[in-house]
């Protein structure tokens, strides 16, 4: 696998993990015990720590990509293994 392809796959892992982790660890203003801003939705996060979110996403994406790359090199699970309609 060329390094450009590996970088693209890592980026896909990163974006997917970042999207999946969005609802975790977020507290609303009510849960934080502070007053809401007028016009603010009740479900809006009180404070979103972008640096922390991106760091956790990068670490989780690195772990996921490591498993993907190990499978790519080792060939443990192939496309033929996932063909459930035409088993051989």
Per-residue confidence (pLDDT) for residue 74, from 0 to 100: 93
Count the Cβ atoms, other than its own, within 10 Å of residue 79.
6
Per-residue confidence (pLDDT) for residue 42, from 0 to 100: 84
Cα–Cα distance, 8 to 47 (Å, whole number): 31
Q: Which two tokens stand for residue 79?
A: 């496309």
Taking the chain, what is the end-to-end CA distance rounded to the nearest angstrom? Answer: 28
Per-residue confidence (pLDDT) for residue 28, from 0 to 100: 85
pLDDT tens digits, 54-82: 999 999 999 999 999 999 999 899 888 88
Cα–Cα distance, 75 to 21 (Å, whole number): 29
Cα–Cα distance, 32 to 87 (Å, whole number): 54
For residue 88, pLDDT beyond 70: no
DSSP state of 38: T
For residue 87, pLDDT beyond 80: no
More confident residue, 46 or 5: 5
pLDDT tens digits, 2-41: 999 999 999 999 999 999 999 888 888 888 888 888 888 8
Q: What sign has the CA pseudo-torsion 3, 8, 9, 10?
A: positive
């Amino acid at each position: 696998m060329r390094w450009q392809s590996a970088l693209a796959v890592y980026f896909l892992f990163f974006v997917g993990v970042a999207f999946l982790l969005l609802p975790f660890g977020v507290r609303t203003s009510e849960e934080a015990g502070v007053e809401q801003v007028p016009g603010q939705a009740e479900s809006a996060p009180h404070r979103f720590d972008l640096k922390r979110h991106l760091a956790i996403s990068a670490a989780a994406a690195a772990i996921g990509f490591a498993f993907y790359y190990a499978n790519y090199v080792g060939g443990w699970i192939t496309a033929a293994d996932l063909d459930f309609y035409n088993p051989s």
